[in-house]
Amino acid sequence: MYDYVIVGAGSAGCVLASRLSEDPDVQVLLLEAGPPDVNENIHVPLGYLQLGRTEVDWDYCSAAEPECHGRRIPLPRGKVLGGTSSINAMVYIRGNHRDYDDWGVPGWSWADLMPYFLKAEDNERGASRWHGAGGPLPVSEERSHNIISRAFVEAGVQAGLTRNEDFNGEHQDGVGLYQVTQRGGMRASTAVAYLHPAMERPNLTVMP
């Protein structure tokens, strides 16, 4: 008997399972259609390029696209513990505040959500008005900037774009290097950040 049954151990499901099972008095079941996240290409950031069309991808395709000469375009979605957070590109950029505010849903405005973004985050830049530290989700600078990436940013600045050192700061526009959900050179999926630390709890059952 379970108090909560969560279907899908993706970005959202792993967080839910972890947070709900903090209460030892509730029984939580997490169901996932895919396997455990043991494929090493999940955890080595550059390996994500090797994950499409494998056992950890639902392997969806678009319909034949007339504007693309009839090609069917691959639409990867994670099918594994961590879900799409185990196969995505790890860029850490929150939605624009106007997106949330335009929803017009009580409790989901930018001001409502910001405390939760901060609570989730463990940013290696430390805590500030815009960032949290000590939360479950590691956010880091990229460790290996390609010389072309730096040249691209400088070219953007020369062309008149604003240099932006933090796309989660006061302004989102401009050109700069983004932060990533990684720590120690490894991917921080929600399975890594939230689920694995909780899996020893006797009140949490995970069925990949």
Ligand X SMILES: Cc1cc2nc3c(=O)[nH]c(=O)nc-3n(C[C@H](O)[C@H](O)[C@H](O)COP(=O)(O)OP(=O)(O)OC[C@H]3O[C@@H](n4cnc5c(N)ncnc54)[C@H](O)[C@@H]3O)c2cc1C
- Footprint of ligand X on residues 31-50 (CB under 6 A)? 31-34
- Cβ atoms of 10 and 33 closer than 8 Å: no
Only one of the segments 17-25, 77-85, 143-151, 159-167 lies at the binding site for ligand X (rule: CB under 6 A); that segment is: 77-85
Residue 125 has which token pair? 């830049």
Using CB under 6 A, pick the residue from 28, 30, 42, 83 that binds ligand X.
83
Closer to ligand X by CB, 34 or 136: give it.
34
Cα-flanking dihedrals φ and ψ of residue 46, to 5°?
Answer: -65, -20
- DSSP structural state of residue 149: H
Closer to ligand X by CB, 21 or 48: give it.
48
Contacts of residue 151, defined as CB under 8 A and 6 or more positions apart, other chains included, come to none
* Closest CB 25 distance from ligand X, rounded Å: 26
Does residue 57 bind ligand X (CB under 6 A)? no
Task: Tell me the β-bridge partners of 6.
Answer: 30
Using CB under 6 A, pick the residue from 84, 140, 164, 182 that binds ligand X.
84
The radius of gyration of the chain from alpha carbons, rounded to an integer in Å, stands at 19
Kindly list the residues in this chain that would bind ligand X in the complex (CB under 6 A): 7-13, 31-34, 76-79, 83-85, 88-91
